[in-house]
Chain A
């Protein structure tokens, strides 16, 4: 398995924030959410809509729709590493 098996698209956000939005594959959505919630530290949650998480000093928000927004990452390579550690 690779991260591509779980990730449908990665988009760099439009704006000065330079965050990354990761859209997970629809058919893997539940599996992805479960995996991430097992590995990342939950800071806050609002039912199953939104989870505020941290993992390896990276803060991100995971949405029940199977999308996540990662902040303050240097570049896409760093994001790929975090995703790899979270999902594989």
Chain B
């Protein structure tokens, strides 16, 4: 049975006090805390298994290689990918998107082509395309939002054409938490011969994810938002698409052969098999192992339970926040439409004032643009405060947050 109080025992940091108050960590959309299982796996790797992978015949390297490959397998199973060939380890969501932009986009997008991006995207799913469009000359079309802050699917259908080569959307908005209909997005894109790239940074840690059911072509997500370490993330790509893509970076590990031709005085290079073709240089082995442990932890809980728990907390928090006269919540008010993210402001206070005030009580929340400046422009906001939940948050913590929030209201 899912019990957040029991889960909390696995998270050493949650025993901390901040400003003489027990830590209430509500900034999970930025990064998650780590259970001791993940911390121990990292410690154990460096104490007992550390060696470079795929490079040596010695025992330690074999053990490290096996662990690193198992980490890919665990992630592949977690999102129902068709084998480790479809799982590329990268630094995080940002690098995964940049990999697609530079490896696929640089060679497949040209003047006259179109890329579709939504206005609810994190900057990491906007900036790489804007940079690349200045190199290759393709155009970018932005899909707007409906009144509730959700994706305007009708506008998307109107904007997409046969010239569209890729549609890039987030599964869950890191601002409002709204869940986009990725199956619908992918179908519309495929009907027009376009690929889909989904930013799963806020969805994979919180919802059951089945890439085959969603039928996405690329899915990018980060380990650190799902109990894993920082510096490790995943690019899922359909095998046939990845096979046909050129590498992102060159170096060791990603090659099979580098043959020097004494006549042409050049090297002929053949790429390694997937996924190693996209993992140039010594990879982040240890954090890959840490990510595997995080995935095991989440699978033991069950992603349906993760989603259900966050839904209960979000519904409860929104209900209480909506009772406050000076608190305004943005995005959908129906918790069933979203993950555990609530953006808000308190009248008369900047979001940073709210965050600093809550910090007095050991309550950690986010303030600012959350890397979604275009979305803030649409909502006519200078910035916003944001609470975001995860498996270890409790109803009691929501109450503590509300007590402090009501105190701000009385200032």
Q: Contact residues of A with B, CB < 8 Å?
A: 13-17, 19, 21, 44, 46, 49-50, 61, 63-65, 67, 69, 71
Give every chain A residue within 8 A of B351 (Cβ-Cβ): 15
A14 touches B411 (CB 8 A): no
Q: Which of these binds chain A: B6-14, B324-332, B355-363?
A: B355-363
Give every chain A residue within 8 A of B411 (Cβ-Cβ): 44, 46, 50
CA distance A17 to B356 in the complex (A): 15
Of A17, A44, A50, A64, the residue contacting B350 (CB under 8 A) is A17
Known contacts A13-B368, A17-B350, A19-B350; A61 and B382 CB within 8 A of each other: no
A63 touches B359 (CB 8 A): yes
B382 touches A17 (CB 8 A): yes
Known contacts A13-B368, A13-B383; A61 and B360 CB within 8 A of each other: no
Interface membership of B118, Cβ < 8 A: no
Give every chain B residue within 8 A of A14 (Cβ-Cβ): 367-369, 383
A17 touches B359 (CB 8 A): no
Query: How would you classify the secondary structure of chain A's contact residues: helix, strand, loop or mixed?
Result: loop
B369 touches A63 (CB 8 A): no
B352-411: which have CB < 8 Å to A? Answer: 352-353, 356-357, 359-360, 367-369, 376, 381-383, 407, 411
Of A17, A44, A49, A65, the residue contacting B352 (CB under 8 A) is A17
Residue of A nearest to B351 (CB): A15
Number of A-B contacts (CB under 8 A): 57
Q: Which bracket fits the contact residues of B?
A: 10 to 19
B357 touches A63 (CB 8 A): yes
11 more CB-based (< 8 A) A-B contacts, given A15-B368, A63-B360? A13-B352, A14-B368, A14-B369, A15-B352, A15-B367, A15-B376, A16-B382, A65-B356, A65-B360, A69-B350, A69-B353
Of A16, A49, A50, A63, the residue contacting B376 (CB under 8 A) is A16
Give every chain B residue within 8 A of A63 (Cβ-Cβ): 356-357, 359-360
- Which of A13, A15, A63, A65 gathers the greatest number of chain B CB atoms within 10 Å? A15
Of A15, A17, A19, A50, the residue contacting B357 (CB under 8 A) is A50
B350 touches A65 (CB 8 A): no
Residue of A nearest to B410 (CB): A46
Residue of B nearest to A46 (CB): B411
A-B contact pairs, 24 of them (CB 8 A): A13-B350, A13-B352, A14-B369, A14-B383, A15-B351, A15-B352, A15-B368, A15-B376, A15-B382, A16-B376, A19-B352, A44-B411, A46-B407, A46-B411, A50-B360, A61-B353, A63-B357, A63-B359, A64-B360, A65-B360, A67-B356, A67-B359, A69-B353, A69-B356
CA distance A69 to B10 in the complex (A): 35
Give every chain A residue within 8 A of B359 (Cβ-Cβ): 63, 65, 67
CA distance A61 to B353 in the complex (A): 8
Interface membership of B44, Cβ < 8 A: no
- Which of B359, B407, B411 gathers the greatest number of chain A CB atoms within 10 Å? B411
Interface membership of B270, Cβ < 8 A: no
Interface membership of B80, Cβ < 8 A: no
Give every chain A residue within 8 A of B336 (Cβ-Cβ): none
Give every chain B residue within 8 A of A44 (Cβ-Cβ): 411
CA distance A71 to B353 in the complex (A): 11
Interface membership of B146, Cβ < 8 A: no
CA distance A14 to B351 in the complex (A): 10
Interface membership of B19, Cβ < 8 A: yes
CA distance A69 to B369 in the complex (A): 17
- Give chain B nearest CB distance to A16 CB in angstroms: 4
CA distance A36 to B411 in the complex (A): 21
Residue of A nearest to B377 (CB): A16
Residue of A nearest to B357 (CB): A50
CA distance A17 to B385 in the complex (A): 13
Give every chain A residue within 8 A of B381 (Cβ-Cβ): 16
Residue of B nearest to A13 (CB): B352
